[in-house]
Amino acid sequence: MKRFIKPIVIFKRFVFFILFLVTLLGTYALSAYTLSRMGVEAEPNTSEDVSIYILTNGVHTDIVLPIKTAYIDWSKEIKFENTRSKDTTFQYVALGWGDKGFYLETPTWADLKFSTAFKAAFGLSKTAIHATFYQELKENKNCVKIKISAQQYQNLISYIKKSFKSDAEGHFLHIITNANYGKSDAFYEATGSYSLFHTCNTWTNNALKASGQKACVWTPFDTGIFYQYQVR
């Protein structure tokens, strides 16, 4: 009889673990859905001095900014020469924050390693900022234009600058890699830690909050952000 006790105990623990995991994932999904549908209102009665964009590829969101304005010239730190094309005629730069392992080691979902996913989920790896240059953007369901005030843009600049890791002289740290997605992008070292609770889309959502725009209470997914900008 005693020989059956250990397998029964192991089975019970396995069932408990599965139930715990299902409950945890269910709570996460429900929280993500509920809090992403709860909105933070934009600051009222502000001027429309600068046009920015939010852009999604269906999973990941970027904040897109004009390269040169009276308030900043991003090309002084996010250099054209760090791209393969080295084209200096681009008008916009899209910035996305995320897990460094995902960015540099996972060109497709088929290349995703368990170790990369595990480290990203639990904040155990470094982060990076992916910068992509554009000549122009077209508004559609995946690209939303937002007009913000000069002060709001300066607040956004401050938020974004703090997300870049800098050297002793304050210059952004370019990551030299062959993992670039195309001819018009580059990677930079970033601050902060990626996790299930602070994803690339959480970063974008917080950027919108920092600049006084409509945002979710919290979201790990791009759908929550774009839900706030639907015409309803």
| Cβ–Cβ under 8 Å, residues 142 and 58 | yes
Cα–Cα distance for residue pair 94/52, rounded to 1 Å: 10
For 113-157, what is each residue's pLDDT tens digit? 777 777 777 777 899 999 999 999 999 999 999 999 999 999 999
Q: Per the structure block, which two tokens stand in for 133?
A: 């240059």
For 98-123, what is each residue's pLDDT tens digit? 999 989 988 676 676 777 777 777 77
Report the pLDDT value the prediction gives residue 3, as an integer from 0 to 100. Answer: 53
Non-local CB neighbours of 118 within 8 Å, separated by 6+ positions = 124
Report the pLDDT value the prediction gives residue 1, as an integer from 0 to 100. Answer: 46
Residue 170 has pLDDT above 70, yes or no: yes
Strand partners, 51: 147
The percentage of residues in the chain with a pLDDT greater than 70, rounded to a whole number, is 91
C-alpha distances in Å from residue 183, one per residue of 107, 118, 127:
15, 30, 22
Name the pLDDT band for 14 (thresholds 50, 70, 90).
low
Report the pLDDT value the prediction gives residue 154, as an integer from 0 to 100. Answer: 98
- Whether pTM > 0.85 for this model: the answer is yes
Q: What average pLDDT score do residues 153-181 get?
A: 97
Pair type for strands 143-148 and 215-216: unpaired
Domain residue ranges in the chain: 38-228
For 61-91, what is each residue's pLDDT tens digit? 999 999 999 999 999 999 999 999 999 999 9
Report the pLDDT value the prediction gives residue 6, as an integer from 0 to 100. Answer: 67
Mean per-residue pLDDT over the chain, rounded: 91
